[in-house]
């Protein structure tokens, strides 16, 4: 009978066994890098090739690093860039692959720069910052005026077990549906214009907030929690539109954001929570009147970017939960409802340390 030879791999203990996965991966990478070095060795063009790729790498670095200097004068280009700023990072692996294909040492070195800039801006969001504890759960949801199933959406957000729930883009016909569906969970509520607040705890000092629109899309209420009073603001800032001729228009949104920021500055209570659809991200300079004085729960205690819009393929977090005077503990997005936005929720610590 012919004798068959079998090859075995020796493990770290000197015995026969499969090679650990980590060792195999390092060996594969080493082999790949070795082939690349062998293919590039002695080729003087590795420093001259890929100058266009190098230019793109430097351009992306400048856009991310100096995004606040991009002017809004033409089509609000600066705010548009800041809204989708995290996505520029997708170009880094593309440039890396192209630099390897082109065998360009210059481009490979240049790709390091946008990678470092992106990690400096957004690397912290890749770390899980969620904590435990807290004594107040809040949630907000733009329910969409054209929502085909408001009752189902109400049940979905109530299932989040939020103590305080804000809804935006309410219509006159849908309000009774939400009131009925949420009545069993929330004893207290108030609707002001197209925004509403539902709470397990008593509400007082409820009033609309003028954000310079001519109709009510923001409100303020005092929520008396077991740990103390909290001023809760609900806001739905105007939409930002991209138009072929007018560019990126956001003037009305910016004006409303300034008015909302002024109202929060004048707030007498030290504990403040802002819930709503701000139609802008934390990077958008046009929201500085608000973001300069409040913390994002997602940035402080979330996991990942927490994108909330559009619900079918979230690309930006324009639905915000922001706080001052209370401590964020954790933040997350809720499952999709009948809206084009995802609900977002957070748990905060109201009691002072």
- pTM of the shown model: 0.82
On whether both 205 and 319 belong to a single domain, the answer is: yes
Distance from C-alpha of 269 to C-alpha of 228, rounded to nearest angstrom? 10
**How many domains, the chain?**
2
Domain boundary among 104, 126, 148: 126
Q: Do 304 and 212 share a structural domain?
A: yes
Cβ–Cβ < 8 Å for 94, 60: no
| DSSP class per residue in 272-339 | EEEEEE-SS-TT-GGGHHHHTT-EEHHHHH-SS----BSTTS--B--EEEEEESSEEEEEEEPPP-SS
Determine phi and psi for 135, rounding to 5 degrees.
-135, 5
Q: Is residue 206 part of a domain?
A: yes
Of 78, 106, 126, which one is at a domain's C-terminal end? 126
Please write the tens of the pLDDT for every residue from 145-178.
999 999 999 999 999 899 999 999 999 999 999 9
Question: Is residue 241 assigned to a domain?
Answer: yes
| 210 and 273 part of one domain | yes
Which range, 80-89, 172-181, 232-241, is most confident? 172-181
Of all helices (H) and strands (E), which one includes residue 205?
A: strand 203-208
CA dist 189 → 202, 215, 344 (Å): 9, 20, 19
Residue 88 has pLDDT above 70, yes or no: yes
**Which residue stretches of the chain are H helix?**
21-40, 51-65, 77-83, 91-102, 105-122, 150-158, 175-182, 251-265, 288-291, 297-301
Considering the domain architecture, whether residues 110 and 218 belong to the same structural domain is answered as no
Convert the pLDDT of each residue in 94-129 to its tens digit: 999 998 888 888 899 999 999 999 999 999 888 888
Q: Does residue 28 sit within a domain?
A: no
Domain membership of residue 174 (yes or no) is yes
What domain range is 97 assigned to? 43-126
Q: Decide: 302 and 332 in contact? Cβ < 8 Å.
A: yes
């Amino acid at each position: 009978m012919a004798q068959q030879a079998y090859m075995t791999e020796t493990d770290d203990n000197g015995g026969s066994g499969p090679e650990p996965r980590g060792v195999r991966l390092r060996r594969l990478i080493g082999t790949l890098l070795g082939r690349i070095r062998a293919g590039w060795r002695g080729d003087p063009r590795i420093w001259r090739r890929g100058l266009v790729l190098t230019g793109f790498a430097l351009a992306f670095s400048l856009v991310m690093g100096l995004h606040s200097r991009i002017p809004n004068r033409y089509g609000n280009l600066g705010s548009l860039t800041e809204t989708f700023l995290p996505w520029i990072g997708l170009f880094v692996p593309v440039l890396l692959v192209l630099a390897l294909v082109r065998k360009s040492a210059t481009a490979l070195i240049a790709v390091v720069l946008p990678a470092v800039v992106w990690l400096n801006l957004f690397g912290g969001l890749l770390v899980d910052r969620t904590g435990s504890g807290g004594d107040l759960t809040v949630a907000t949801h733009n329910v969409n005026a054209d929502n085909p199933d408001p009752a189902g959406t109400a049940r979905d957000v109530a299932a989040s077990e939020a103590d305080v729930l804000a809804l935006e883009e309410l219509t006159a016909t849908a309000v009774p549906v939400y009131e009925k569906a949420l009545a069993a969970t929330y004893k207290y509520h108030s609707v002001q214009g197209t925004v509403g607040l539902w709470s397990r705890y008593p509400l007082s000092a409820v009033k609309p907030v003028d954000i310079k629109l001519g109709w009510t899309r923001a409100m303020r209420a005092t929520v008396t929690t077991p740990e103390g009073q909290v001023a809760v603001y609900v806001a739905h800032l105007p939409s930002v539109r991209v138009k072929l001729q007018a560019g990126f228009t956001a003037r009305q949104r910016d004006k409303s954001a300034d008015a909302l920021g002024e109202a929060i500055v004048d707030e007498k209570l030290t504990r403040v929570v802002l819930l709503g659809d701000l139609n802008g991200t934390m990077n958008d300079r046009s929201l500085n009147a608000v973001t300069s004085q409040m913390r994002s729960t997602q940035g402080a205690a979330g996991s990942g970017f927490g994108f909330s819009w559009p619900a079918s393929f979230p690309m930006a977090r324009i639905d915000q939960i922001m706080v001052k005077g209370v401590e964020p503990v954790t933040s997350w997005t809720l499952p999709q409802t009948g809206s084009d936005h995802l609900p977002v929720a957070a748990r905060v610590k109201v009691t002072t340390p």
